[in-house]
Amino acid sequence: MSRLRALVELVALVVAGGLVAVIPSAPASAAACAAPWQASAVYWGGDQASHNGRNYQAKWWTQNETPPGTTGVWQDLGTCGGGSTPPPTGGCNHPNWVAGTWYSVGAIVRYTNGLYYIAEHDNPGYDPVISTWYWEPYTCSGQPPTTPPTNPGSFVVSEAQFNQMFPGRNSFYTYSGLVAALSAYPAFTRTGSSTVQRQEAAAFLANVHHETGGLVHIVEQNQANYPHYCDPGQPYGCPAGQAAYYGRGPIQLSWNFNYNAAGNALNLPLLTNPWLVQNDAAVAWKTAIWYWMTQNGPGTMTPHNAMVNGAGFGETIRSINGSIECNGGNPAQVQSRVTKYQQFVGILGVSAGANLYC
């Protein structure tokens, strides 16, 4: 067709009010982004996560390997857009900060106060308004998102208060690891009034302080006890070895049956890999919260129920080590826990309540 003929036909279409423009078909939109990858999260084969504007799928169990990784565990599914982690764009379209998520230098986030911060140093999701060495305020242009920022990992104890409670803690026990573990049991420190929530947090952390010498010890110090924590009568035995189930973490998880039960509840391979509890802060905190929320121990109720139902701090001691300490068994140890609890509720600005002893 000549150019003249094409022009005539185009004019005819315009005159007839039927201008037809041939527009190239738009490229297919990118898939929605999966949930953001988190260093503390456990991913099983088939699980998906997004990172830096791309979706990835785990080929087998993995944790703490940033996609795309170096071991081949992550399959790159391509660019993603939409969902919770859109690829970087201009203006103020930056993602909401999520506690426990790894942020590299240069990452920009929107904090819960609606303001923006840029990572000055790599960090595992530290709070931008508390960990100011890692974050700097950031000014961006454009219209900010209308969706209010959220903080799904919010905790009634701030990082500053946590540091005040544990001034000499081992660097393994990170605040970000604790916050990341909260998702395992959403009712933990979120049940009842604000006073009850803070009392429960203080009770949990007071017992943790006692069990670990102020969050100093990651593993049980008396290695002579290590072979004693294997109950061969369990049908699953002790696949990690007879001496592998010693006390670890904030509440010193021990025995093969406890590692098995905690692993099943948390979807973690703790029976075959109990060392996860001493190598990953979030896993360590999760096992402590698991015990607090689900186990009666030598008591008659879980420590969580003791605090939210008004039984008092003394019953948390009974549920953790009551067979040895309560009813006059070791009053000095009980007093140590009570004293720390009273100190911690003071830091959080609430009363200690009744029934402090067991």
Give the CA count within 13 Å in the CB-facing half-sphere of 275: 6
Which CATH code is given to the segment(s) 223-280? 3.30.20.10
Rounded to an integer, what distance in angstroms lies between the CA atom of residue 89 and that of residue 111? 18
Rounded to an integer, what distance in angstroms lies between the CA atom of residue 131 and that of residue 117? 11
Give the CA count within 13 Å in the CB-facing half-sphere of 142: 11
Task: Please check whether residue 237 is in contact with residue 231, taking contact to mean a CB–CB distance below 8 angstroms.
Answer: no
pLDDT tens track for 43-63? 777 788 887 778 888 887 677
Rounded to an integer, what distance in angstroms lies between the CA atom of residue 29 and that of residue 33? 12
Does residue 152 have a cis peptide bond before it, meaning omega lies within 30 degrees of 0?
no
Three-class DSSP category at 335: helix
pLDDT of residue 7: 34
pLDDT of residue 27: 42
Which among 9, 120, 159, 211 is annotated as catalytic?
A: 211
Q: Best-predicted range by mean pLDDT among 73-82, 83-92, 294-303?
A: 294-303
pLDDT of residue 29: 54
pLDDT of residue 183: 86
Which CATH code is given to the segment(s) 159-216+295-348? 1.10.530.10
Is pLDDT at 40 greater than 80 in this prediction? no
pLDDT of residue 229: 97
Q: Can you say how many angstroms the Cα of residue 1 is from the centroid of all Cα atoms in its chain?
A: 66
pLDDT tens track for 307-351? 999 999 999 999 999 999 999 999 999 999 999 999 999 999 999
Q: Are strands 62-63 and 54-58 parallel, antiparallel or unpaired?
A: unpaired
Task: Please check whether residue 183 is in contact with residue 152, taking contact to mean a CB–CB distance below 8 angstroms.
Answer: yes
Handedness of CA 356, 297, 193, 289 (dihedral sign): positive
pTM for the predicted model, two decimal places = 0.60
Q: Do domains 159-216+295-348 and 223-280 have the same CATH topology?
A: no
Which CATH code is given to the segment(s) 93-146? 2.10.10.20
Q: Percent of the chain at pLDDT above 90?
A: 53
Is pLDDT at 13 greater than 50 in this prediction? no
Is pLDDT at 1 greater than 70 in this prediction? no
Residues 136-162, mean pLDDT to the nearest whole number = 69
pLDDT of residue 114: 73
Catalytic annotation present for 220: no
The structure tokens 């509890």 sit at 277
Task: Please check whether residue 311 is in contact with residue 300, taking contact to mean a CB–CB distance below 8 angstroms.
Answer: no
Hey, which bits of 126-233 come out as E strands? Answer: 135-138
Residues 284-288, mean pLDDT to the nearest whole number = 96
- Name the residue with higher pLDDT: 153 or 304: 304
List the domain boundaries for the chain.
93-146, 159-216+295-348, 223-280
